[in-house]
Amino acid sequence: MTQRGEPPRLRQYVAARARLVGSGLVVGLLLGGLGMAGWTLYTGDARSSEATVFALGALVFGFGLLGWSGSILAGRGIEAMQEHMDTRSNWTERDSRRAMARLCGSGGGIMIGTSVVAALL
Amino acid sequence: MNWTQFLFRLIEPVVPPRFVIKRLLLLIPVLFGVASVVFAILHLAPGDPAIIIAGQRASAEQLEQIRVELGLRRPLWEQYLSFLWDAARFDFGQSYSISRGNSVRSVISDRLPITLELAIYGQAAGILLGLPLGIISAVKQDSLTDHVTRIGALTGISVPIFWSGPLLILLFSTYLDVFPTSGRIASTLFLPDTWTLFGRELPLTGMITVDTILLGNTEAFLSAAHHLFLPAVVIGVYSTALISRMMRSSMLEVIRQDYIRTARAKGQGAKITLMKHGFRNALIPVVTVIGIQFGTLLGGAVLTETVFGINGMGLTIVTAIGVSDYPVVQGTVLTFALLFTLVNLFVDVTYSYLDPRIQQ
């Protein structure tokens, strides 16, 4: 039961997930911004740099999203299979889901960071 | 009662609608993820769509105009969001080169039935041969039949399509002249675009064996089946091998269970025990393999269609990549992803029907 002063369960639930994706997003923003600026300095072409770095961000984001949904869809099955076949590798659905959510955030961050720096340049 | 309520009423005795809704919702991020990866790969790939459309001799002004028309001069985030929106509506624009001027949607709707037909026949061959072979192999464990089946299964899994396809063409088409090397129907036969049902003209399905049956053209059906046999065998060999191996190991595990021994001790016949109690339980892991296998068959269609010159989705995707026809690549890849996820959804539903504990 929720006690007085304790944050409601939904808020806790959302905050935990927001922290997870948010930490990835911040890293992504930095990577995207720096990557865009660095690549432009190196090639001298802001448009092609934006295309390359943004596409890399989309790749990370898509991969993370596929991994996240794949973990939910098949994670329990993989855990059970590992247990059944006696090949435990400490891989868990929860860890995979969390890692993929962070990756998803990073990909999104790279895309946003690239777009912001491209607009400024 | 609307159609969704009707559908839920229909599936309720088999599987809870909540389970199906949850699985359906998970398809959204999967397709969204695939679309993002496709967008990224196509933007990272070399080649300029404007040059592909206008040709190498086009002037700089013409190329720039095409780039503007295609929206390639817009910021990347805008292109990305617009791509996702188009993908959600399954609108990929027009083909640049392989079917210039036609919409990608029409290219896919023309060629998808061809690939589906091939995959369905391959899968049917795999199930019809693989399941009995696996059961026989398990029941007659360590006998000559079991050894032969196991060696056959191992060979089937190990031989790649790009090797077995040309080899079978060489044997059955070139040397023995039993089957044709390519095509879907004899070149002397022509099919109309529509068929008639109760006086109404309806479009054909695009699956040539189905269409010939609908038209009641026996000669054309036999020719289509004759042309389809070798590609279906090539695509079905791997499936047969994998299903029989899986069925054997699953059946061996099940027939050692206490409930099978109990049924036999109560006087039930060996065949009835095996089929009534053993088969359904042994089928559970096999169903998963069949579902994943269908996705592999769609991938195998790329090779089989290329080897046999069948103009389906597989050959289309290979040609589209070769000529950098990006809208067609995007459309075909997303269609493959959608099919794969839908098949997996169907497998999940079947799985939960066979083993209701999954629904928990």
Domain range list for chain A = 32-119
Contact B37 A63 (CB under 8 A): yes
* Of the candidate ranges A37-46, B66-75, B206-215, the one whose mean pLDDT is the lowest: B66-75
Give the integer Cα–Cα distance in Å for B326 and A29: 29
- Residues 6 or more apart whose CB falls under 8 angstroms from that of A64 comprise A100, A101, A102, A103, A104, A105, A106, A107, B33
- Name which residue leads in pLDDT, A61 or A78: A61
B76 Cα to chain A: minimum distance (Å): 6
Do strands B200-203 and B194-197 pair parallel, antiparallel, or not at all (unpaired)?
antiparallel
Mutation pick from B19, B36, B347, B351 vs chain A, by most beta carbons of A within 10 Å, is B36
Position A1 pLDDT exceeds 50: no
Closest chain B CA to residue A77: B358
In a domain, B38, yes or no: no
Position B352 pLDDT exceeds 50: yes
pLDDT bucket at B353, cuts 50 / 70 / 90: confident
Our measurement of the distance from residue A16's CA atom to the centroid of its chain's CA atoms, rounded to an integer in Å, reads 14
* Of the candidate ranges A26-40, B56-70, B303-317, the one whose mean pLDDT is the lowest: B56-70
Local structure of B197: helix, strand or coil: strand
Terminal-residue alpha carbon distance, chain B: 28
pLDDT computed for residue A31 by the predictor: 93
Give the integer Cα–Cα distance in Å for B77 and B66: 20
Mutation pick from B26, B72, B76 vs chain A, by most beta carbons of A within 10 Å, is B76
Count structural domains, chain B. 1
In a domain, B58, yes or no: no
Q: Is residue B36 within 8 Å of A103, Cβ to Cβ?
A: no
On whether ipTM exceeds 0.95, the answer is no
pLDDT in tens, B39-51: 888 888 777 777 7
Q: Is residue B108 within 8 Å of B101, Cβ to Cβ?
A: no
In a domain, B93, yes or no: no
Closest chain A CA to residue B337: A66
B316: CATH: 1.10.3720.10
Residues 36-95 of A with CB under 8 A from B: 50-52, 54-59, 61-66, 68-70, 72-73, 77
Q: Which residues does residue B195 pair with via DSSP β-bridges, in sequence order?
A: B202
pLDDT in tens, B259-274: 888 888 888 888 888 8
**Mean per-residue pLDDT, B131-153:** 90
In a domain, B296, yes or no: yes
Q: Is residue B263 within 8 Å of B277, Cβ to Cβ?
A: yes
Which one of A62, A77, A115 has the shortest CB-CB distance to B33? A62
In a domain, B326, yes or no: yes
Q: Is the pTM of this model over 0.90?
A: no
Contact A55 B39 (CB under 8 A): yes
C-alpha neighbours within 13 Å on the C-beta side of residue B176? 9
Q: Domain residues for B197?
A: 105-354
In a domain, B274, yes or no: yes
Neighboring chain B residues of A50 at a CB cutoff of 8 Å: 75-76
In a domain, B17, yes or no: no
- Residues 6 or more apart whose CB falls under 8 angstroms from that of B172 comprise B178, B179, B230
Q: Is residue B300 within 8 Å of B161, Cβ to Cβ?
A: yes
Contact A56 B40 (CB under 8 A): yes
